[in-house]
Amino acid sequence: MTKLSVNINKIATLRNARGGNVPDVLKVAVDVQNFGADGITVHPRPDERHIRKKDVYDIRGIIKTEFNIEGYPSPAFLELVKNVKPNQVTLVPDPPEAITSNAGWNTIVHLSFLQDIIADLKEHGIRTSIFIGTEPEMIKNAALTNTDRIELYTEPYAAHYHIDREKAIAPFVEAANLAAKAGMMINAGHDLSLENLKFFNERIPFLKEVSIGHALIADALYFGLEKTISLYKQQLVKER
């Protein structure tokens, strides 16, 4: 079964909109864990517009499930994750002002940069993943960074799923096979939802984990958080 890591950034966005501590991000992190999620994901940004630095430290101290921290590897971000020591750090190439991640790494241009960062994180005992598109040359070069995993950027799949899902999934299947052949494990995330997740999970070989936030939290407004996590987990059972 593919693991589900729930990104709770949107909970922090809602809290920050009014100040105070409603909803309680820490309580939600524990609830998400108790409701059956396999991991918690956060993506702190320099302006702290959703997850704050303090949240990252506090969450680390109260959850037992896997903790994944996403972010651009600035000096401040790297200092944070090396202090917190999450189970996994997912490196994303987006600048601080980006609303959300919208592209994968160019692993050719940024090869030495990523190699140095990944080596540093591994010295601190942290598993690494890099956010990446499906271009074969980028996948092949990702292996040269010595990352443990890649996270496939799935927005193009989600955008074209209703037009032609077979065509939409094809480059992701190829990318997953290339990554596995190169010895990397495979995560995925961005715009995955109850509509498109099951098909993606069934067709992508070697898929280890998905990270989902926006769609899952939006669905929780209708179904409730516990039921929503259960619904997403159901989509991740691979039929034999």
Q: 35: domain CATH number?
A: 3.20.20.70
Whether the predicted pLDDT of 99 surpasses 60: no
* Selected catalytic residue, list 50, 66, 151, 190: 190
Is 50 among the residues known to form the active site?
Answer: no
Q: What is the pTM of this model?
A: 0.94
- Is residue 198 included in any domain, yes or no? yes
Percentage of the chain exceeding pLDDT 70: 96
Range of the domain at 202: 3-235
Structure tokens at 67: 């903790």
Using DSSP, state whether 239 is helix, strand or coil. coil
- Is residue 191 included in any domain, yes or no? yes
The per-residue pLDDT for 9 is 97
d(CA 45, CA 132): 19
Is 70 among the residues known to form the active site?
Answer: yes
CB neighbours of residue 17 within 10 Å:
9
- Is residue 176 included in any domain, yes or no? yes
Name the domain count of the chain. Answer: 1
* Average pLDDT of span 172-196: 97
- Mean predicted lDDT score pLDDT of the chain: 95
Is 190 among the residues known to form the active site?
Answer: yes
- Is residue 134 included in any domain, yes or no? yes
- Is residue 240 included in any domain, yes or no? no
- Is residue 37 included in any domain, yes or no? yes
